[in-house]
Amino acid sequence: MKELLERLQAGDAALGQVLPPRAAKRFPQWAARRKFSEVCRCDAAVRQWIATQQWPPLKNGDGFELALRVAAARECLQNGAAQVAVVKLPLAEALDILLIQFWHVQGLAWLRFRYSSRR
């Protein structure tokens, strides 16, 4: 788990995105309006980062979405929600599950849980 968290922290730092706290309650609506092609572009960026440890050049909004994905993955690991499922997997597979598969299945629900109630 430590290696996963370290890798996610490094990825977050390399993105250099700051999630604006004042806009936090609008994150779920913003993410829900992302086009399928934009989400797929972020999936490809994640796969490149997993393989090379470098983010590709990002288009508008992609860095923000990726920062949200990393935040969700880190929180899942830190609160134990994903530990059983991923800690015994190879690093690349665990990162794919946390940053792509989890995002597609639970990303919006996580955003609503994490940010909709903030004032």
Q: Which pLDDT tens digit goes with each residue over 77-110?
A: 888 766 666 777 899 999 999 999 999 999 999 9
Identity of residue 70: V
Percent of the chain with pLDDT over 70: 90
For the chain, the domain total comes to: 1
110 is in which domain, residue-wise? 2-115
In sign, the C-alpha dihedral spanning 16, 24, 97, 33 is negative
65, pLDDT greater than 90: yes
Cα–Cα distance between 103 and 119 in angstroms, integer?
24
pTM for this prediction: 0.88
Mean pLDDT of 27-41: 93
